[in-house]
């Protein structure tokens, strides 16, 4: 490898670490499951519900025991199913072929607070 190659590789590693450090972390708590399809909110459920959600016929999400996971998808790779269960805002489930995002966020009953 040439010197420039090594410098490039080192800067990629440093950049990755910097992005990792500054990446916005979802809160640890969270009680609301938000399912987005094509960038729009498709469904909003409580994390403590127990239900199965059909997302436009392409995916099926399941909320159970304070966790949400993708039960099935009609795409070939099924990466969203393999991503497993999510119980807080630190992880999201993404299904690229069907453009579905499932995330858990904190949401109180109050819409807004006026100070």
Partner 1 sequence: MKNSDLAQMSLLTALALIFGYIESLFPIPVPIPGIKLGFSNIVILFALNRLDSVKAFTVMLLKVFISSLLFGGMSALFYSLAGGLFAFFAMLAAQRSGFGVIGESAAGGVFHNIGQLTAAAIMLGSSAPIAYLPILLPAGAVIGIITGSVCKAVMKKI
Contact residues: partner 1, CB under 8 A: 1-2, 4-6, 8-9, 12-13, 15-17, 19-20, 23, 36, 38-40, 77, 79, 82-84, 92, 94, 96-97, 99, 101, 103
- Of the candidates 33, 107, 98, the residue with the CA atom closest to the CA atom of residue 64: 33
Shortest Cβ 106–partner 1 spacing (Å): 17
Nearer to partner 1, 72 or 83 (CB): 83
Nearer to partner 1, 20 or 115 (CB): 20
Nearer to partner 1, 8 or 48 (CB): 8
Nearer to partner 1, 40 or 115 (CB): 40
- Distance between CA atoms of residues 22 and 33, nearest Å: 24
- Distance between CA atoms of residues 30 and 105, nearest Å: 4
Shortest Cβ 34–partner 1 spacing (Å): 11
SS3 6: helix
SS3 32: strand
What size, in residues, is the chain?
115
């Amino acid at each position: 490898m040439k010197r420039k190659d090594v410098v490039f590789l080192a800067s990629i590693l440093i950049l990755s670490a910097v992005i990792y450090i500054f990446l916005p972390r979802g809160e640890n708590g969270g009680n609301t499951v938000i399912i987005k399809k094509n960038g729009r909110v498709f469904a909003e459920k409580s994390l403590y519900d127990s239900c199965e959600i059909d997302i436009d016929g392409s995916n099926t999400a399941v909320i159970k025991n304070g966790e949400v996971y993708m039960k099935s998808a009609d795409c070939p790779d099924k990466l969203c199913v393999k991503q497993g269960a999510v119980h807080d805002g630190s992880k999201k489930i993404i299904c690229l072929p069907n453009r579905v995002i499932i995330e858990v966020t904190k949401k109180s009953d109050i819409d807004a607070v006026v100070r």
